[in-house]
Amino acid sequence: MTINLFAGTVGMSVWFSDDLGDSWRRPYSESGLYLESRVWALSGHPDAPGQLYAGTDNGIYRCDVKARKWTHLPSPMDQMNVWALAQAPSDPEVLIAGTQPAALFRSDDGGQSWRPLPCHFAEDCIYVRWPRVTQVLFDPADDRTLWVGVEIDGVHRSDDGGESWRRCNQGLASEDIHGLAVIETPRRRLFATTNKGLHISDDDGGSWQVQTLDSPWQYTRVIVPSPGRADLLWLANGNGPPGDAGRLLSSRDGGDSWQQAALPAEPNSTPWCIADNAADPELLFMATNLGQLFRSQDGGASWVKLDRELGEVRALRWQPG
């Protein structure tokens, strides 16, 4: 199986690797995406393996992966930073995009047209000036249910594909949401990561409880369930954005407890991105905020550090070729 690995960076566009990260190439601007773009989000779909979507500092782009050619998809987001992208599990043509300033847009035709969704967010943030959507998540039980995390405006939920929304913030120690995850077994559980720790909801977002980590820091970033084992999750933990130290944590009991992964080198900053894929649950990649790259080919039992470092990394994805 051919593997395509992609890294979205701040100021160096998207890098490509077809040898599990041992070497990297970055297409020039004639590929259709400006060479020094800031890329905040990447999305792909198993039913459309030849395509990749990127959320950038000037809208949405779609890539023909084999040809390494990007096409700009005109939208109301062309003058905005697109921080989050997700495709419906049941239909790769359905995309939800989240932006800074915080807003949501939906496409039902693979990004050819977009419409704003009626979700209202805070207009100001003392940390990043304009709040931003950090994650859009289709619920694995029903992809008409959407979860959205906003930095800074908490967790928002829609049960009708984005036509109406409600806040789900009761019990959050912080509304500075960085990542979201939902697992279905052994029980349904929601996770939200924040600057003040990991939060868990066992009542479908009705309330949240902080779970204190056995770590020097409670700052958490992305949380990713394993596609191969229902109770296995990966969590990025560090000492801030970007920070200068961090840990990759795993839970093998649905989030009840967490253990530190044995990385072969100390992270140079907070771990920021974790990439897995149901096509091979044993293959994992992790990137720190300041560009270190790590790979596991045995489901996270062991890791190697890749030689290449890529500056500031904000998105990481792998998919079959």
pTM recorded for the entire structure: 0.96
Give the pLDDT score at 123: 83
Could you write out the DSSP letters of every residue in 14-45? EEEESSTTSS-B---GGGSS-TT-BEEEEEEE
| CA atoms lying within 13 Å on the CB side of residue 100 | 25
Give the pLDDT score at 129: 83
Task: Output the CA torsion sign for 121, 209, 162, 50.
Answer: positive
Taking only Cα atoms into account, the Rg of the chain, rounded to an integer number of angstroms, comes to 18
277 contacts: CB under 8 Å, gap ≥ 6: 227, 283, 318, 319, 320
pLDDT in 10s for each residue of the chain, 321 residues:
889 999 999 999 999 999 999 999 998 888 999 999 999 999 999 999 899 999 999 999 999 999 999 999 999 999 999 999 999 999 999 999 999 999 999 999 999 999 999 999 988 777 778 999 999 999 999 999 999 999 999 999 999 999 999 999 999 999 999 999 999 977 899 999 999 999 999 999 999 999 999 999 999 999 999 998 889 999 999 999 999 999 999 999 999 999 999 999 999 999 999 999 999 999 999 999 999 999 999 999 999 999 999 999 999 999 998
Side chain identity, residue 81:
N
User: Helix, strand, or coil here: 217?
Assistant: coil
CA distance 11 to 135: 21
Give the pLDDT score at 178: 98
Give the pLDDT score at 126: 74
Please, are residues 63 and 317 in contact by the beta-carbon 8 Å criterion?
Answer: no
Pairing of strands 177-183, 219-225: unpaired
Give the pLDDT score at 230: 83
Give the pLDDT score at 1: 82
Please, are residues 146 and 136 in contact by the beta-carbon 8 Å criterion?
Answer: yes
Give the pLDDT score at 273: 98
Residue-range domains of the chain with CATH = 3-320 (2.130.10.10)
